[in-house]
Amino acid sequence: MTAFVLGATGFVGREVVRQLAVRATPVVAHIRPDSKSLAEWKQKLEALGAIIDTTTWDPAALATAIDRHAATQLYILIGTTRGKAKADAVDGDIYEKVDYGLTKIAVEAAQRSQHKPRLVYLSGIGASATARGAYMRARGKAEDAVRGSGLPWVMAQPAIITGERDESRLGEHVGAVVGDGLLAVAGLFSKSLQQKYASTTPDILASALIRIGEAPEHDRAFAGADLR
C-alpha cells in the first residue's frame, strides 16, 4: 500500500510520515507549493524517507497526483491556527477556509481519482456542523464531507494534543494539564469519561491513525481508548 499524507508538515502529520517510513510503508508527503519553508520541509521529510509532492490545492490536480503515486490511503491531517493563518495571509473565517475548505478539496480529489483511496481523517472530539464555535463547526462540516464521500473512511476524534510545537500554545498546554487533573478525579467514578477526554501526544496519535488506517474495518470514528 502507499500512503499519501496531506498536512505532512503539521504537528501530527510529520509524525505520521516518520512512523510510516519506519514501517517501510511507501509514503508521499504533500507540501503546499507556495509554502515559505518548502525547501526546508522537503529536506526534512525526504530525510525521513518520504516522497515529496507539491501539487497545488485543486481537486483535479490532486486526483492526478493520487493516481500518479498509486495511493491506497489518503491521510487528511489538515488544520490551521490564528498564527499560521496570519503568516499565510488567510483572513476571514480561517477554519472554514482551511480545516473545512481543504478537506473538501481532498475528498473531491479522492472521489475523482481512479484509485479511490481510503480516507483517514483527523478531527477532534466534539466536532459538529452545528457547533457554536467556528473551529468545531468547520471540523464537523469536514467530518460530514468525509462521511458522505462514498469512499471507505475512518476518522480519529482526539481531545487535546500536547507536545513540542513550532509555535507556542500555552493555553492548550495549561488546558491539558488542568483537564487531565480533573479527569484523574473523574476517573475514580468513570473510566470511560477519563479515557474519552484525556490529552494525547503526536506519537501516540500517529500510531493510532496508522493502525485504524490499515485495519480492515472502515466507516467508523475512533475516540478515547481506541486512540491509545
With vertex at residue 45, the alpha carbon angle to CA 219 and CA 145, rounded to the nearest 5 degrees, is: 25
For 194, half-sphere exposure in the C-beta direction (CA atoms, 13 angstrom radius) is 12
pLDDT of 163: 65
More confidently predicted of 3 and 171: 3
Q: Does residue 170 register a pLDDT over 60?
A: no
Q: Does residue 181 register a pLDDT over 70?
A: no
Q: Does residue 201 register a pLDDT over 70?
A: yes
Residue-range domain boundaries for the chain: 3-158+200-227, 165-199
pLDDT of 85: 77
Burial 37-66 (b: 16+ CB within 10 A, else e): eeeebbebbeebbbeebebebebeebbbbb
Fold of the 3-158+200-227 domain = Rossmann fold (3.40.50)
Q: Say whether 221 sits in a helix, a strand or coil.
A: strand
pLDDT (tens digit per residue) in 77-119:
999 878 887 777 788 889 999 999 999 999 999 999 999 999 9
pLDDT of 89: 79
Confidence of residue 225 (pLDDT cuts 50, 70, 90): confident
What is the pTM assigned to this prediction? 0.87
The cell for 59 is 481537486
More confidently predicted of 119 and 172: 119
Give the mean pLDDT of the chain: 88
For 169, half-sphere exposure in the C-beta direction (CA atoms, 13 angstrom radius) is 19
Q: Does residue 189 register a pLDDT over 80?
A: no
The dihedrals phi and psi of 153, each to the nearest 5 degrees, come to -145, 155
pLDDT of 64: 98
pLDDT (tens digit per residue) in 22-68:
999 999 999 999 999 999 999 999 999 999 999 999 999 999 999 99
Strand order in the sheet with 153-156: 51-53, 27-30, 3-6, 73-76, 118-122, 153-156, 220-222
